[in-house]
Amino acid sequence: MKIQEEYFRGLREKAEKALTKKASFGPDIDLSEFYLCSPQERIGDIREVGDKLKEAALYAGVELESEKAATYLQVDRSAVYEKVQKAFEGKLEIMSSRKALEKYPELIEYWWSLVPVDADKYTAFAELCPTEGYFIRVFPHVKVDLPLQACLLVSETARVQSVHNVVILEEGAEINLITGCASVRGAESGVHIGISEFYIGNNARLTFTMVHNWGESFHVRPRTVAKLGKNAFFSSTYVLLKPLASIQAFPQVILEGEEAQATFQNIVFAKGDSYIDLGSTLLLKNKGCRGSSISRVCAMDAAQVFARGRLIAFHDDVQAHLECKGILFSDRAQIVSIPELEVHGAPKARLSHEAAVGPFEEEAVNYLRARGLKKEEALSLLTQGFLNLDLPGLPQALRQYIEEIIRVTSRDVL
C-alpha cells in the first residue's frame, strides 16, 4: 500500500506542474469555467434507467437493455451500473477503474503507463480531478462471442467529466467492445476528458467502436494509447455525426510484438461550427507489423476538420498506409489532411499515404437519378456508401437514426 501511495503522490506532483500546459493541437479550453460532474445513485436493475438516459445511450450506440456479455454505465461522475452476464462470469471483469484499483493494487503498473499524466492540461486534470471510468479485463484465451458495452453519459450543463479507462486483454483473448459517449438532451455544454489505456496481449484481438453524440457546445479531449503484443490485433472505429464545439484526439498504437496489426477508421460528418481535429499514430516496432489509418469526412456549414495521420517505422519488415477522403458540402467548410511518414533506421519499411477532397462525381448522381431516385435520395445513398456505416454490433435504431441524419443533410445541401 505504501508503494501505491508513493506512486500516486508522484503522479499528482507531475500533474500539478502540467495543469496549465496547452495541448499541441486544438483550441485551448479554460477548464475553470466548468464545474465537476455531480455524483449519481447506483441502480440495481438496468430497467431502472430513465428514458432520457436510455435515449442518449442508444444514439451513442449502446442498447442498455440488450443482451451483451458485459455492461458498464456511468452517469456524470458515478459508475451507476456494472454487470457481467452469467455465462461470462470468471472469464472477464468489468467495473469502475476506482473499484479496480482498490481490488487490485498491482494495477498501478498499468495506470498512466502508456498515456503520460503530464502530456497536457487535460491528462493532468483527469488525474487531479478524476470522475471514474471503466476497467475491463479479459482472461487468457477467452473468446467472447457477444459484444461488451460501456456507456459514459453527461446529464448536466457546464460540467467536466474526466474519466480514466483501462482495458487489458490477456494472451489469446478476443472481444468486441462498443463504447458510447454522449450528453443527455438539455445538457448542451460541457467538457469530456477521456484517458484510455489498452493492453493487448500476445495473440489477443480487440475490435473497438466508439460513437460520440455530444451537445453543440461540448468540448471533447480523448487521450488514448494502445500497446500490442506478438500477433495481436487492434481495430478502432470512431463515429461522429452530430455537431459539437470541438474535439481533439490523436490516439497512438504501439505495435511492440512481431506480426502485430492495427487499424484506425474515423467516420465524421461535420456540421455547424464544429472544430474537429482527429488523427492517429502507428509506431511499427517489430518484424511483420502491419497497420492502416482511414478517414472518411463529410463537412458542411462552417465546420473545420483536420485529419491527421502519422506512421513511424522502426523495422525493415513493416508496412502501413494512411488514407483520407473528404467531401465538402459547403463553401464555408474546411477539410485539411495532414499525413506524416517517418522511418528510423529501416530503409526497407513500406509506408504510404493517399488523400483526396472533392464532390461526388456527377456521373454517379445522374446514374442513380436515371434509375428513378430523386437527387436528394441519390446524394443520401452515395453519402452512406462513402461513410461505410456497416459497423458490427450497433443497434438498429442507431443505424436508422444515422440514415435519417444523412437523408436530412442531403436535402439541406441541395
Report the pLDDT value the prediction gives residue 186, as an integer from 0 to 100: 87
Average pLDDT of 375-394? 66
Judged against a pLDDT cut of 80, whether residue 11 lies above it is answered with yes
Tens-place pLDDT, residues 99-127 = 999 999 999 999 999 999 999 999 999 99
Q: How far apart are CA 123 and CA 194, in angstroms?
A: 8
Q: How far apart are CA 319 and CA 226, in angstroms?
A: 18
Q: Is 337 found in the same domain as 386?
A: no
- The secondary structure of residue 347, as a DSSP letter, is T
Q: Is 341 found in the same domain as 407?
A: no
Element (H, E) at 159: strand 159-169
Judged against a pLDDT cut of 80, whether residue 368 lies above it is answered with no
Q: Is 91 found in the same domain as 154?
A: yes
Tens-place pLDDT, residues 124-177 = 999 999 999 999 999 999 999 999 999 999 999 999 999 999 999 999 999 999
Q: Is 168 found in the same domain as 128?
A: yes
Report the pLDDT value the prediction gives residue 151, as an integer from 0 to 100: 97
Q: Is 271 found in the same domain as 401?
A: no
- The secondary structure of residue 89, as a DSSP letter, is B
The fraction of the chain above a pLDDT of 90, given in percent, is 75
Q: Is 309 found in the same domain as 219?
A: yes
Tens-place pLDDT, residues 14-35 = 999 999 999 999 999 999 999 9
The fraction of the chain above a pLDDT of 70, given in percent, is 88
Q: How far apart are CA 348 and CA 319, in angstroms?
A: 9
Q: Is 338 found in the same domain as 407?
A: no
* pLDDT, greater one: 232 or 376: 232
Average pLDDT of 355-367? 70
Count how many domains the chain has.
Answer: 2
Distances (CA, A) of 351 to 255, 289, 323: 15, 12, 11
SS3 345: coil
Average pLDDT of 180-190? 93
Q: Is 396 found in the same domain as 349?
A: no
Judged against a pLDDT cut of 80, whether residue 374 lies above it is answered with no
Nearest to 268 by CA among 277, 256, 258, 255: 277
Report the pLDDT value the prediction gives residue 284, as an integer from 0 to 100: 98
Q: Is 246 found in the same domain as 264?
A: yes
Q: By residue range, what is the domain housing residue 305? A: 2-362
Tens-place pLDDT, residues 261-295 = 999 989 898 999 999 999 999 999 999 999 999 89
**pLDDT level of residue 364 (50, 70, 90 thresholds):** low
Q: Is 297 found in the same domain as 262?
A: yes
Question: Which residues on neighbouring strands pair with residue 66, listed in sequence order?
Answer: none
Judged against a pLDDT cut of 80, whether residue 392 lies above it is answered with no
Q: How far apart are CA 411 and CA 414, in angstroms?
A: 6
Q: And the C-alpha cell for 111?
A: 495506470
Cβ atoms 70, 85 nearer than 8 A: yes
Report the pLDDT value the prediction gives residue 339, as an integer from 0 to 100: 95
Q: Is 210 found in the same domain as 304?
A: yes
Neighbouring C-alpha atoms within 13 Å toward the C-beta of 146: 15
Report the pLDDT value the prediction gives residue 212, as an integer from 0 to 100: 94
* Average pLDDT score, the chain: 91
Q: Is 368 found in the same domain as 341?
A: no
Q: And the C-alpha cell for 250?
A: 490523436
Which of the listed residues 362, 380, 395 is the one where a domain comes to its end? 362
Neighbouring C-alpha atoms within 13 Å toward the C-beta of 162: 16
Amino acid type, 173: A
Q: Which of 156-160, 247-251, 360-364 has the lowest mean pLDDT?
A: 360-364
Q: And the C-alpha cell for 237?
A: 472505429
**pLDDT level of residue 59 (50, 70, 90 thresholds):** confident
DSSP secondary structure letters along 278-309: E--EEEE-STT-EEEEEEEEEE-TT-EEEEEE
For 20-56, letters b (16+ CB in 10 Å) and e give eeebeebeebebeebebbeebeeeeeeeebeeebbeb
Which of the listed residues 325, 343, 362 is the one where a domain comes to its end? 362
Q: Which of 57-66, 186-195, 338-347, 395-404 has the lowest mean pLDDT?
A: 395-404
Tally Cβ neighbours within 10 Å of residue 366.
12
SS3 109: helix
Q: Is 361 exposed, middle or buried (0-12, 13-18, 19+ CB in 10 A)?
A: exposed
Which of the listed residues 344, 362, 380 is the one where a domain comes to its end? 362
